[in-house]
Amino acid sequence: TAGQISFFAMFIGFVTGLGLTLYQLQDKASKRLRRISKRVPYSLDLISLAMGAGATFTEAVQTVVREEGDDPFNEELRALLAEMELGTTRRRALENMISRVPIEQLRSIVSSVIQAEELGTPLADVLHSQANLLRLQRTVNAENAAAVASVRILIPSLLILIAVVLAVFAPMIVRGVGGGLF
């Protein structure tokens, strides 16, 4: 009946709308994580430079947040600073940032910072070496992506080459068959 059809249509619309909303949310979240991932090495360099100039970790992060504007990683650094200002330990605030931003490179950095604090290693050196490591890792990932792309483009290139060869030699083959060469 008409009532069942309209209920079914509403249900389909609800499920479709919910699915699209969840997809958009997931897409925004993954784009945000990619933007954060791209920004981390640069921000780490700035933090390590500020610490090398004599600033504390907190002062260095404040400098980066103040100078770098509004990007997702700076929002996370602001949240980190806010937690620390409210009395949360640096270790706990960093662990909270990892739970909000589940990026492996950030997890590695936080682990290094915590370990450096426990061992008394200069934090500026640790952050600088982590930034260098992240840049190197990014370069390797780009090289791997380029290698995969060259393999993926090989098959379409071969198909195009075969089509061009056929287009060039087909008239000669037809003429040869029609003229009795074969």
pLDDT per residue as tens, the chain (182 positions): 677 778 888 999 999 999 999 999 999 999 999 999 888 888 888 898 899 889 999 999 999 998 877 889 999 999 999 999 999 999 999 999 999 998 888 999 899 989 998 888 888 888 888 888 888 888 898 898 888 888 889 888 999 999 999 888 888 877 777 765 55
Tell me the residue ranges of DSSP E strands in the chain.
none
Q: What domains are there in the chain, each with its CATH number?
A: 2-179 (1.20.81.30)
**Residue 43 to residue 63: CA distance in whole angstroms:** 10
**Residue 27 to residue 36: CA distance in whole angstroms:** 14
Q: What is the pTM of this model?
A: 0.69
> What letter would DSSP give residue 80?
H
